Structure 1
Amino acid sequence: MTTAESGSFSSAALEEYLSLIDELLAQPFPGANFCNDTGYGGPEHRVRILRASQEFWDDDDGEAACAAEAELRAYLDALIAALTARWDEPLVVDLLPYLRASLEGEAVSEPINRLSRLAGSMQAWPHRDPGRWLGLAIGQGDKELPLELLAVVGQTLPLEPSVSGRS
């Protein structure tokens, strides 16, 4: 499910998102980069769009964007609660240092590089499979574009760029 539904919080959608997260964690990483309607990925990561709002081209007052963000935040909070019950408290990863490093020309690994351009932070859990982690974030490519609830699986979870800015 990648489009916003009218109405209130749906526990059926939450269960679907948890199922998609479990699938995402179980899937092997792709051999090559890909991008489609449900997400993108590469040899060491996968990103799944769990839910997306409408676009905001005609949202001059920002009211629609605020309502969409509140809806996505409700789902994000419910997912965080469910995953915290499974795996304990998440790490809060500030993505701004990665964005700064990237803008200064430093190499930043995926999916953190692209994610830092969409979101300011993410909630992340190291997974029971060594070398895997799960992250959740709300991101937006530009103010006119849809807000997206994202689930991210990567091989290595950088906690901050190294001295050289590489992660």
Structure 2
Amino acid sequence: MDIAQWAETVLALDVRDFPAERGRTAYGSGGPGYHLAELATSGDFWEDDGTEREETEAQFGFEREALAQRLREHLGQADHFGLHSTFERTAAGEDVDEPWASLSAHVPDLLLWRSPRTGRWVALGVSQWDRELPFQLLAVVTDVDPY
């Protein structure tokens, strides 16, 4: 997919009904109150000396910014939203709603909008579970307040 297709996916999810149950979907995963689209996934870094990983991380950041620029035409200016405190709250045993609890374990920060069309939250993030594992460009659409 390219940036135009990713933008179409995000905007389509903004108006699509949420799944009744948590699970895998055609675009990634979802559950009551949210869609999580896996827009792009890199290869892994098991055999890498760190160079490829750094280049890939930079590329995924660039792609997130390019997609955000495309989405600004429809959603306006994004806010930067860190998930560190959400992760800390989850690790301390606080019951944090999905998709924020899961995201905070592997996405450090998001670009976040409030959709003028639906009032839903729309977010873009770059995920990596561990240094050797792939990066993913993720889009989240949810009616669950992140704050």
Q: Paired residue for 1:108, among 96, 112, 123?
A: 96
The answer (yes or no) to whether the contact 2:109–2:125 under 8 Å persists in 1 is yes
The separation in 2 between residues aligned to 1:119 and 1:71, in whole angstroms, is 16
Question: Where in structure 1 are there 5+ consecutive unaligned residues?
Answer: 2-12, 160-167
- Map 1:62-101 → 2, pairs under 5 A: 62-101=50-89
Find the counterpart in structure 2 of residue 143 from structure 1: 131
How many angstroms apart in 1 are the aligned matches of 2:84 and 2:103? 10
Count the aligned residue pairs: 147
Identity %: 30
Is 1:31 the counterpart of 2:1? The answer is no
Give the distance between the partners of 2:50 and 2:93, measured in 1 at CA: 33
SS in 2 for 1:99: helix
1:36 CA drift (Å): 5.3
In 1, Cα distance between equivalents of 2:133 and 2:26: 14
Asked whether the 8 Å contact 1:131–1:156 carries over to 2, the reply is no
CA RMSD of aligned residues (A): 1.5
Confirm or deny: 8 A CA contact 1:30 1:43 kept in the other structure: yes
**Which has the higher Rg, Structure 1 or Structure 2?**
1
Q: Offset of 1:148 from its aligned partner?
A: 0.4
Query: Aligned AA for 2:57?
Result: E
Where relative contact order (Cα < 8 A, 6+ residues apart) is larger, the structure is 2
Give the TM-score of the pair, scaled to structure 2: 0.92
Equivalent residue for 2:114, pick from 116, 121, 126: 126
Relative to the length of structure 1, the TM-score reads 0.82
